[in-house]
Structure 1
Amino acid sequence: MERRSRSLISTDDLTDEDLRAIVGRGAELASGGLVNNGSLTGQVAGIYFRMTSTRTRTAFSSGALRLGGQIIAYGPGDLQTNTGETTEDTGRVLSRMLDILVARTGGGCAELRGWAEGNRMSVINAMTAAEHPTQALADLAAMTTRFGQVAGLRVLYVGEGNNTAAALALTLSRYRNTELVLRTPPGYGVTGDVLARAETHALRCGAIVTERHDMDDLPSGFDVVYTTRWRTTGTSKPDPRWREAFVPFQVTADLWQGSPKAVFMHDLPAHRGEEVIAEVLDGPESIAFAQAEAKMHSAMAVMEWCRDVL
């Protein structure tokens, strides 16, 4: 029987059941579940990155190989789009030769959705400017591994309201009794559209999502303190004095005074002395590098789901 093809362009493409299945499978693989099960045997994955990547690119490449698949890697100068071929034509060709395309294009979702039309090839969003869905799935898998479940967790996110923050808001809000507190610099918050979508999920699932643009009056008792780099990959800030707005949002040990049992998470790469001090990133509360490893396990779960073998 021919396998069904599914794509993951946004977390909105996932039902609640799909979301929990992928996160649970990622956590299962992280705990030593069946890794070399051959679930992608005979499948070919294209790994197409126009932008730099260490963790996401390696996670999907290594994950596909571990599941028995084969990979073809494309760099930013490898395809004929550089000589004038339309991206639509490129997608029509690739869909006849690949089973999966993992893509980080630097653009929006429209190009990825165009490639996914026809359901011949599964397309996986490896980060757009608006959302980083596979990062959030890895984050939730890492939380599951650490705490046993996602439901009921309280998470403090500090820093720019970027694509990682957006994906975290859009997924954590779909677990019952979770709380996400976003503290973002003025002018660098999560978009209104993302907040509205997250609040809709939260209302439906009994979760809480709030955002403020200061570090005053922080609640206590968080399970996770999360930050990302101040300069998101592939972006720039129009204000040359942007750092002044970000300085109060540096993660220091002071944040653990009210949350002594919290773990620290970071999507990496990190810049010690900017968004987080070295003592936190490299300290005993940090699970940032285990979180990075979870990207491979989550990537495997995503590919299994896309090829309908999860």
Structure 2
Amino acid sequence: MKLPSSSATNLNKPNLRHFLKTQDYTKQELTDILALMGMLKDARRDNALPQLFAGKTLAMIFEQPSTRTRVSFEAAATLLGGHAQFLSPKDIHLGAKESLEDTGRVLSRMADIIMARVDHHDTVAGLAEHATVPVINGLCDWLHPTQIMADLFTMLEHLPSNKQLSDLTVTFVGDATNVCSSLMFACTKFGMTYKHICPERFKAPAKWVDIAETNCAVSGGKLVLTDDINQVAGSDIVVADSFYWFGQEEEKEIRLSTFIPEYVVTQELMEKAGPESIFMHCLPANDQRECTREVMESDRSVIFDEAENRLTAQMALLVYLTHKNFSQPDEATRARHQEKIGDFLATL
């Protein structure tokens, strides 16, 4: 039997939504988030960010290490007037001494939003199923949606002249990573041409292809899967990512020998892509493996704009997912509580 809740966080909030994958959002909703990113970035530039997360707490669960995800979320919460808590496997009992269900329910009573960077998608999905506050997927084994919001915004900032997002050709060179999948889904949802160039052995699985092709049928986008590196020609944006990741250490040598040197993004490859093509990478980058340092430091590279926009994305997501339940007490309410507590403390 479920007992009535005494929680101060108002369980079963109206308008509760999670951000587990971009496929859960319409093109218009994603466009709205991108617009909000732009306004918040402008406000940050003017040191005039509205305190839209004031008095709120972000719980950050990390099963995997991170630089950009941790710093960007923590900074976003602080800049917007709130607070973030870092929770590693050493700090909480997630999935060990305490179930996902109980973890989600407990954190919902103490935090206003949860971000989880996890080994497996089932973990973040399980948290969302039982949480009564928004849950954000900070990365899992097959998706990295917060990275892709930063990527889309970076594309907007560096659009070729006379082009819109739907006009772009985005080419991902390398392994079928969680960035590859998330970028594939977002680009095809926006009507772009998305090329995945990699050895046959490491191509995107059928499940991903089905999702992307369904998007293309609605948006008019195009999906190209090939092992021919020459197909990079005509690309507006070339994207690279690591050839191996956590859990793939045993495959490291075979992966490197398969991808290198043909699929390394070099200056020559960027020239082949096109005279105005730009280079993106989610970082960290293993230079001289998936890309060269020359490309990373070139005028074509926007990787550090892209990294900064992780903060832009996180600010927007915190606001977008909590703004409908955001409220500040009026001065009369503040004064009433202050007087009541003050009078009590004076008796102690």
1:25 aligns with 2:36: yes
Q: CA RMSD in A?
A: 2.2
1:96 aligns with 2:109: yes
1:51 aligns with 2:51: no
Q: Is the 8 A contact 1:5 1:308 kept in 2?
A: no
More helix per residue:
2
SS of the residue corresponding to residue 249 of structure 1 reads coil
Return closer, same or farther for 1:8/1:235 CA change in 2, 3 Å cut-off.
Answer: farther
For 1:125-144, what aligned pairs fall within 5 Å after superposition? 125-144=137-156
SS of the residue corresponding to residue 170 of structure 1 reads helix
1:117 aligns with 2:129: yes
1:152 aligns with 2:167: yes
1:266 aligns with 2:277: no
Return closer, same or farther for 1:223/1:28 CA change in 2, 3 Å cut-off.
Answer: farther
1:6 deviates by: 1.5
CA distance in 2 between partners of 1:83 and 1:162 (Å)? 27
- Structure 1 vs Structure 2: percent identity of aligned residues? 28
Question: 1:130 is aligned with what amino acid?
Answer: W
SS of the residue corresponding to residue 231 of structure 2 reads coil
CA distance in 2 between partners of 1:62 and 1:244 (Å)? 39
SS of the residue corresponding to residue 202 of structure 2 reads coil
Q: Is the 8 A contact 2:105 2:130 kept in 1?
A: no
Which runs of 5 or more residues in structure 2 are unaligned? Answer: 1-9, 327-348
Match of 2:3 in 1: none
CA distance in 2 between partners of 1:42 and 1:160 (Å)? 42
* TM-score, reference length from structure 2: 0.82
Q: Is the 8 A contact 2:240 2:280 kept in 1?
A: yes
Q: Is the 8 A contact 1:27 1:144 kept in 2?
A: no
1:236 deviates by: 3.3
CA distance in 1 between partners of 2:35 and 2:217 (Å)? 23
In structure 2, which of residues 308, 321, 337 is the aligned counterpart of residue 293 of structure 1?
A: 308
Higher radius of gyration, 1 or 2: 2
Return closer, same or farther for 1:229/1:192 CA change in 2, 3 Å cut-off.
Answer: same
Q: After TM superposition, where is structure 1 displaced by more than 6 Å over at least 4 residues in a row?
A: none
1:211 deviates by: 0.8
Match of 1:223 in 2: 236
SS of the residue corresponding to residue 280 of structure 2 reads strand
* TM-score, reference length from structure 1: 0.92
Return closer, same or farther for 1:235/1:26 CA change in 2, 3 Å cut-off.
Answer: farther
Aligned length: 307
In structure 2, which of residues 16, 20, 28 is the aligned counterpart of residue 5 of structure 1?
A: 16
Return closer, same or farther for 1:298/1:220 CA change in 2, 3 Å cut-off.
Answer: same
Deviations 1:172-211 (A, max 9, x none): 11113x2111101222122211111011101210111111
Q: Is the 8 A contact 1:65 1:71 kept in 2?
A: yes
CA distance in 2 between partners of 1:19 and 1:113 (Å)? 20
Which runs of 5 or more residues in structure 1 are unaligned? Answer: none
CA distance in 2 between partners of 1:28 and 1:144 (Å)? 13
